[in-house]
Amino acid sequence: MAKDLDPKNTVPELQVERKATDIFVGNKVFPEASAVFTSRSQTLTEVLKTACIVLDTNALLVPYGIGAQTLAQVEATYKGLLNEKRLVIPAQVAREFARNRVTKLSELHQRLSRRRSQLQPFQQGNYPLLEAVPEYENLRETEDQLDALISKYRQQLGSVIDHLAAWEWNDPVSVLYNRLFPAEAVFDTSKPLEDIRQEHVRRFSSKIPPGYKDNAKDDEGIGDLLIWMTILEVGSHRKTSVIFVSGEEKSDWWHRSENQHLYPRYELVDEFRRASTGHSFHIIKFSRLLELFGASTTVVAEIRKEEEIASPEIPLTRHSAAHLRSIEAERAVASWLMQLGFEVSPATSPYRYDYVVEGNGTVFAVDVMSIRNPLVLQQRFKELSRRQREASDLPLTVVAVGESVDDVHRAETVWSKLDPPFRLCAGILTASGSFTALRPL
């Protein structure tokens, strides 16, 4: 027999509100069904000379990882677009840049500070028994010299850190943008915020792009929608196509396959077409923008490496940390080669290396590798040797990048024992992210 329920212990029935599903969402997303067949988007090449170029936040942040020469090319590209009054920065992008630029500076500050804290004196102890040995006396003198250099390096590193900490809004990228961007280049949507909030709820519930993939963010993805509303208004007011410069890769902006983006979501393309009375919408990365507007291959290569490092698609795992170090090494080597006067281009098929390098009357391939344990290094050298003997018509130089002199010696030892059909250039990646060759090119 069931016991009587105590009213005090009774759990009230949960009132679960069933989420309403808009079964006619397709009609609202594509109100002009015939346009699916009758409209034709212009290609990127066709709109390149007339389209408005709209910048995303990640495009504005990329220059925090590049060198002065590449930054000068960025400035030249922006100046040309501003003179043509074709460059647009959504107000939401400006606000996001204000919040996120300090993160880029903090990352650099952290790397330099950790590098300084890791520096240890070279002289680790005394061995009285050896004091009468002349060679030991010479060794102690060398250790004293090395410790003096380490001390000097720590001081210089501290000066760089202090300079970085004093930047505030005077860092090179912020100064460049302050000099370049006039107030009229920043475009804010005219829609009332409450209307945008309601539109965000409607799109989120029906998974209408963009923004619904950012529901875990503090702003629940409203930032993407604010930028999209701005893009639609730019197209509507100026009656022109838009090229959105963004590193965005989420599936609420792109159709994707095999973890690669293929085409902008058709919902976005069609919505922009209606708002702009027939114009086209494209998304490209910052590196592609510079390439289209005449930047050198070396500049484009450096930007692409920085985009890979900054990609939000890379998970924060041990594996990805090694991957990021590898990308950083490749970028540093490319910059070093450019400083030596070479033209550096990303290698394309049939070359399965990192770069093709031209200069001083020669052309050669470069493969950049991070120095890890000797076994992995040996396997990699053997694979490159096999590949070079079988299929390459370019001489190969392998640039081995380590974090210490010991790493470099390890790479040289493995290389010398194998007698491989390629040159070796070995060096270290400094705390500032530059490459220093200890074995010359």
Q: Residue type at 142?
A: T
Q: Please tell me whether residues 46 and 146 are part of one structural domain.
A: no
Do the beta carbons of residue 422 and residue 388 sit within 8 Å?
yes
Check whether 243 has a pLDDT greater than 90.
yes
Residue 290 has pLDDT above 90, yes or no: yes
pLDDT value of position 375 = 66
Question: Bridge-partner residues for 426, per DSSP?
Answer: 400
CA distance 254 to 48: 20
Report the interhelical angle of 172-180 vs 68-83 (nearest 10°). Answer: 20
pLDDT for 355: 84
**Beta strand 52-55 pairing with 242-245:** parallel
Check residue 431 and give its pLDDT.
66
CATH number of the domain enclosing 402:
3.40.1350
pLDDT (0 to 100) of residue 317: 37
In this predicted structure, the answer to whether residue 9 has a pLDDT above a threshold of 50 is: no
Length of the chain in terms of residues written: 441
- Beta strands 396-402 and 52-55: pairing type? unpaired
Same domain, 88 and 38: yes
pLDDT-based confidence at residue 320 (cuts at 50, 70, 90): very low
- The answer as to whether 359 is a domain residue is yes
- DSSP, residue by residue, 85-137: T-EEEEHHHHHHHHHHHHHHHHHHHHHHHHHHHH---S-----GGGTT-HHHH
Amino acid (1-letter code) at residue 283: I
- Has residue 283 been placed in a domain? yes
pLDDT at 28 over 60: yes
37 domain-assigned: yes
Contacts of 431 by beta carbon, 8 Å cutoff, 6+ apart: 111, 112, 115, 116, 157
* Residue 269 CA from chain centroid, whole number: 25
Alpha helices in 243-342, H assignment, sequence order: 266-275, 286-292, 297-310, 318-339
User: 242 by DSSP, 3-state: which?
Assistant: strand
Asked if residue 429 has pLDDT above 80, the reply is yes
For residue 28, count other CB atoms closer than 10 A to its CB. 11
Q: 249 and 343: one domain?
A: no
**% of the chain residues with pLDDT over 70:** 85
Q: Are residues 187 and 265 in the same domain?
A: yes
Give yes or no: residues 85 and 144 share one domain. no
Q: Does residue 272 register a pLDDT over 60?
A: yes
Q: Mean pLDDT over residues 182-189, rounded?
A: 93
Q: Using DSSP bridges, classify how beta strands 260-264 and 254-257 pair: parallel, antiparallel or unpaired.
A: antiparallel
Q: What is the pLDDT of residue 60?
A: 94
Mean pLDDT of 345-370: 77
pTM of the predicted structure, to 2 decimals: 0.65
Range of the domain at 144: 118-165
Question: What phi, psi does 402 have (nearest 5°)?
Answer: -120, -175
Compute the distance between CA of residue 389 and CA of residue 67 in angstroms, rounded to an integer.
36
pLDDT at 169 over 60: yes
Q: How many domains does the chain have?
A: 3
Provide the mean pLDDT of the chain.
80
Whether pLDDT at 33 is above 80: yes
Percent of the chain at pLDDT exceeding 90: 24
Residue 431 shares a structural domain with residue 326:
yes
